[in-house]
Each structure stands twice: as structure tokens, then as C-alpha cells.
């Protein structure tokens, strides 16, 4: 069933988009990541202009994160205070990101930067998660004693200390703020929620309890993606509501399923699966970067509107 996308100005298969949205939503519910890191490359592959893919993704992620966060909220797995601190950083990050996106697009380097970011970030995060979770799976008794209550490092010497009751943490507000800032840039530049960066950063850097991480990162992502959607629509006209609707219809259903499956899986198994997926995507993109392109030349329509 073909559907014409009014902003992307191409005709695509609606069922394909629904299925892809569903698959990505499933991952989002399962791992607490937005799944944008899979969806953006996919949309570009089927012919959606990169700018529209990124802008629309942000819109789609609003719905996916809300439906995801509801499930976590009912279980009390959202640290609102932590989320709000991250949001302050996130807003600044996404404003910077939208400006950066425009600059890179003018220079013709946006695709390269997106690919490099994907390979670098996904590769690093995926590999370290894979190593960590596989060793935890193989040696379960060590995993139990892995978490020390007090792991003091220079990070704990930073000023502006705040108490986060829900997470049982007393840390500098700069820490979650910086994590949110970085996530905000990713939302705007890569069209992703940034969950795959936020989740590990919140576990390993901020030191939050794993149970709270998915819900809190989703909570924060709602606001950064909403702000990014409005900014992209207002400045670049790159939000395609038809495309977003198809993706989120599949996405919200998938997200609910994912959340349910999550409850039956062990944390380590989950992380190993996510890590594997992330590493695979990174490897694919890395191969694309170094292998000779089919055509060394590419064209881009200079906007006439």
C-alpha cells in the first residue's frame, strides 16, 4: 500500500513503515532507547531526504517516549528530579544541535558527520556494554557484587551538589546536566533520542540504579524531542506528520510489547542483546564509510522555496 508523504515528497509503502516503526518501538520499550539510531539510516535508505528523516524522527520519538514512559511511570521507575536536571542541559544541547545541523548541511558534510558519530558512539558504547554484560552473564556471582555503594572519583568533587531521593544519589547537578546536554545535541543532529548514549551514561557515569534509568531517560527525551520537533518545523520545514504518524502508530504498539517482554528478561541478557545490536549497526556503518561508494558523486537540490 503506497502512501505519498507530503513533506518528504516521495511515495512509500505504508506497511513497511508501520512494520519498521513497530520493530523500533519494540526495542524502545525493551531497552529504554528510542531506536532512532536504527530508524534514521533506514528512512534515508528508502529515499527520505536526510533532513526530513531527522526532523520527523524527533516528532515520532515524542509519541514513542510518552507511551514508553507511561509504563515505567506506573511502576514508579522515573526519577523526575533527575530528569528535569537533565532536561535543562538537554534544551541547550538541542538548540546548539539544530544550528550545527544547518551549518553542516550547508557544508555538505552532514551525512559524513552523522555516520562518523554513529560509528564512534555506537561502536564505543556497544563494545563496552557487550564486554560488561557478557562477563556478567558468564560470571553471575561477580555481577552481584559489582555495585559498590560508594564509588568516589573526581566526578563527585564537582560543585552544585543535589540530592536525588528517588535514585538515592547525592551528586553534582552538572553531571546529569552534561549528560542531558550531549543527548540534546544528538537529538537534533542525528534525529535520535540519544537513549543509547544516555542509558549507559546514566548507569556508569551518574551511577543511577538500572531500574530507574530507562524511565528517566525516556521522560527527559519527551521534552528534548518535542522542543526539537518545533524547532525543526519552524526553521527547516522538515517535519513530515504523515511519515511520523505511520512510524508512531507502529511504534507505540511495539513499545508496549517491548516493555512487557522486558519484565521477563534479566538485566544482563537485555544489555547483551542491546549491545550486540548496537555493535552490528556500528560495524555496518563503518564498512560503508571505508568501502568505495557506488557513485563518487551525489546531488542535492538547493532549496527553492
Partner 1 sequence: MIDGRRQRRLWRRVAQLIAGFLGANALVVAWLSVCGAQPLVADLSRHLVAITTGFTGAEVVLFGATDGAGDVAVVVTGPRSGVTVRRKNRVAGIWVNTLGLHFDPVPAFYAVATSKPLETFVNPSVLERHQIGLEHLRLEPVEPVARDKAVEFRDALIRNMQRQKLYGSSLGQVAFLGDKLFRTSLLFPANVPTGLYTVGVFLITNGNVVSAQTTPLAVSKIGVSDEIFEFSQRQPLLYGVLAVIGAVFAGWLAGTLLRKS
> In the chain, what's the furthest Cα-to-Cα distance?
63
Minimum distance from residue 7 beta carbon to partner 1 (Å): 6
Q: Which is nearer to partner 1, 3 or 162 (CB)?
A: 3
Minimum distance from residue 69 beta carbon to partner 1 (Å): 8
Q: Which is nearer to partner 1, 68 or 207 (CB)?
A: 68
Minimum distance from residue 239 beta carbon to partner 1 (Å): 5
Q: Which is nearer to partner 1, 45 or 290 (CB)?
A: 290
Minimum distance from residue 85 beta carbon to partner 1 (Å): 22
**Are 103 and 194 a contacting pair, CB within 8 Å?**
no
Q: Which is nearer to partner 1, 149 or 290 (CB)?
A: 290
Would you put residue 86 in left (φ > 0), alpha (ψ -120 to 50) or beta? alpha
Residue burial 60-85, b: 16+ Cβ < 10 Å; e: rest:
bbbbbbbbbbbbbeeeebbbebbbbb
Minimum distance from residue 184 beta carbon to partner 1 (Å): 16
Reference 48, options 82, 20, 12; nearest CA is 12
The three cell numbers of residue 50 are 536526510
Neighbouring residues of 60: CB distance < 8 A, sequence distance ≥ 6: 21, 39, 243, 244, 247, 248, 251
Reference 207, options 236, 243, 164, 240; nearest CA is 164
Minimum distance from residue 79 beta carbon to partner 1 (Å): 19
Q: Which is nearer to partner 1, 48 or 208 (CB)?
A: 48
Q: Which is nearer to partner 1, 64 or 129 (CB)?
A: 64
- Interatomic CA distance for residues 14 and 24, integer angstroms: 15
The three cell numbers of residue 136 are 556478567
Q: Which is nearer to partner 1, 98 or 129 (CB)?
A: 98
Q: Which is nearer to partner 1, 87 or 226 (CB)?
A: 226
- Interatomic CA distance for residues 130 and 126, integer angstroms: 6
Minimum distance from residue 5 beta carbon to partner 1 (Å): 8
Minimum distance from residue 186 beta carbon to partner 1 (Å): 19
Q: Which residues bind partner 1 (CB under 8 A)?
A: 1-7, 9-11, 47, 59-60, 62-71, 74, 108-109, 111-112, 116, 226, 229-235, 237, 239, 241-242, 244-245, 248-249, 252-253, 255-256, 289-290, 292-293, 295-302, 304-305
Q: What DSSP letter does each residue of 165-178 carry, written as one string?
A: TTTTEEEETHHHHH
Which pairs with CB-CB distance under 8 Å and at least 24 residues apart come from 129-135? 129/200, 129/271, 129/272, 129/274, 129/275, 129/278, 130/272, 130/275, 130/276, 130/279, 132/271, 133/268, 133/269, 133/271, 133/272, 133/275, 134/272
Amino acid at each position: 500500500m503506497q502512501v505519498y508523504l507530503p513533506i518528504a515528497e516521495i511515495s512509500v509503502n505504508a506497511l513497511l513503515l508501520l512494520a519498521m516503526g513497530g520493530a523500533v518501538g519494540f526495542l524502545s520499550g525493551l531497552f529504554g532507547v528510542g531506536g532512532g539510531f536504527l530508524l534514521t539510516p533506514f528512512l534515508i535508505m528508502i529515499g527520505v531526504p536526510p533532513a526530513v528523516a531527522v526532523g520527523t524522527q524527533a516528532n515520532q520519538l515524542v509519541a514513542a517516549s510518552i507511551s514508553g514512559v507511561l509504563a515505567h511511570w506506573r511502576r514508579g521507575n522515573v526519577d523526575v528530579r533527575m530528569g528535569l536536571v537533565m532536561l535543562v542541559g538537554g534544551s541547550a544541547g538541542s538548540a546548539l544541535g539544530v544550528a550545527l545541523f544547518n551549518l553542516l548541511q550547508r557544508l555538505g558534510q552532514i551525512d559524513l558527520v552523522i555516520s562518523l558519530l554513529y560509528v564512534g558512539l555506537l561502536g564505543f558504547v556497544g563494545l563496552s556494554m557487550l564486554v560488561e554484560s557478557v562477563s556478567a552473564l558468564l560470571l553471575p556471582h561477580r555481577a552481584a557484587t559489582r555495585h559498590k555503594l560508594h564509588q568516589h572519583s573526581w566526578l563527585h568533587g564537582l560543585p552544585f551538589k543535589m540530592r536525588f531521593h528517588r535514585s538515592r544519589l547525592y551528586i553534582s547537578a552538572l553531571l546529569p546536566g552534561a549528560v542531558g546536554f550531549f543527548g540534546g545535541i544528538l537529538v537534533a543532529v542525528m534525529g535520535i533520542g540519544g537513549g543509547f548514549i544516555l542509558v549507559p551514561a546514566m548507569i556508569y557515569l551518574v551511577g543511577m540504579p538500572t531500574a530507574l534509568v530507562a524511565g528517566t531517560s525516556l521522560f527527559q527525551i519527551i521534552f528534548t524531542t518535542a522542543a526539537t520537533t518545533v524547532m525543526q518545523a519552524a526553521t527547516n520545514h522538515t517535519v513530515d506528520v504523515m511519515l511520523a504518524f505511520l512510524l508512531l502508530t507502529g511504534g507505540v504498539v511495539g513499545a508496549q510489547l517491548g516493555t512487557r517482554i522486558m519484565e521477563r528478561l534479566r538485566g544482563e541478557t537485555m544489555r547483551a542483546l542491546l549491545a550486540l545490536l548496537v555493535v552490528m549497526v556500528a560495524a555496518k556503518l563503518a564498512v560503508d564509510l571505508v568501502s568505495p561508494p557506488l557513485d563518487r558523486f551525489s546531488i542535492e537540490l538547493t532549496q527553492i522555496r
